[in-house]
Amino acid sequence: MVEIGAGTGANLAAYPLGAISELVLVEPESPMAARLRTRLQSVGAAQARVVGAPAESLPLPDASADFAVSTLVLCTVSDPARALAELRRVLKPGGRLLFIEHVRSQDARVARWQDRFQPAWDGLVTAATATARRSSRFAPVASRSAPSSTGRCRSRSRSCGR
Ligand SMILES: C[S@@+](CC[C@H](N)C(=O)[O-])C[C@H]1O[C@@H](n2cnc3c(N)ncnc32)[C@H](O)[C@@H]1O
């Protein structure tokens, strides 16, 4: 299993670690990766390792993962299409991508505000684009949109899928 942009490991608590033989947590930002390693030690996930790499260039073999996870990441990578192509490459045939992304709102009023703020977001180092692009290279199994209520992202709409 591979997770891109794992950050400080917010998803770790949701993983059935006993059922995962190998977990690769990809995180390119060194401070995040350091915190992630500390968290891994505290949960005792011996089968997990942190890899410092961008999602656009995964140092993983073709067809090596059953699952890939991306939560609130594709909105920050500079080349999301390339990141998705990499995920497709490392997933085994029939493998699944599980994702949560914030996207442009279907509410026209909210979408207009998102568009207004977009240039400001683009100017920030860890800017999040509110207009995550879709890739036709994955066949959606299920997806849903929901208003954001947790405040983890500043956008008000999210898309979740598998
Ligand atoms: C909003 S945080 C989400 C962290 C975590 N996935 C979560 O749900 O809490 C975005 C993460 O993507 C990482 N990131 C930024 N650019 C990336 C890239 N090109 N490839 C992989 N991860 C990247 C950031 O360092 C950060 O950890």
Kindly report the CATH number assigned to the domain that includes residue 106: 3.40.50.150
Query: How many A from CA of 98 to the centre of ligand 1?
Result: 15
Q: Is 55 in the pocket of ligand 1 (CB under 6 A)?
A: yes
Q: Domain total for the chain? A: 1
Query: How many A from CA of 46 to the centre of ligand 1?
Result: 22
Domain coverage including residue 68: 2-161
Regarding pTM above 0.75, the answer is: yes
Better-predicted residue by pLDDT, 152 or 24: 24
Confidence (pLDDT) at 160: 62
Mutate to test the pocket of ligand 1, among 29, 60, 71, 76 (most ligand atoms within 8 A of CB): 76
| Confidence grade of residue 156 (pLDDT, cut at 50, 70, 90) | very low
Is residue 120 over pLDDT 50?
yes
Better-predicted residue by pLDDT, 149 or 109: 109
For β-strands 23-26 and 48-51, DSSP reports them as parallel
Q: Is 12 in the pocket of ligand 1 (CB under 6 A)?
A: no
Is 3 within 8 Å of 65 (Cβ atoms)? no
Query: How many A from CA of 19 to the centre of ligand 1?
Result: 24
Confidence (pLDDT) at 147: 55
- Residue 90: CB partners within 8 Å, gap ≥ 6? 2, 58, 60, 61, 62, 63, 64, 65, 68
Is residue 153 over pLDDT 80?
no
Q: Look at phi and psi of residue 9 and say left if phi exceeds 0, alpha if psi is from -120 to 50, else beta.
A: left
Q: Is 9 in the pocket of ligand 1 (CB under 6 A)?
A: no
Tell me if residue 26 falls in helix, strand or coil: strand
Confidence (pLDDT) at 138: 66
Question: Ligand 1 atom closest to Cα of 27?
Answer: 22
Per residue in 46-94, pLDDT tens? 999 999 999 999 999 999 999 999 999 998 898 999 999 999 999 999 9
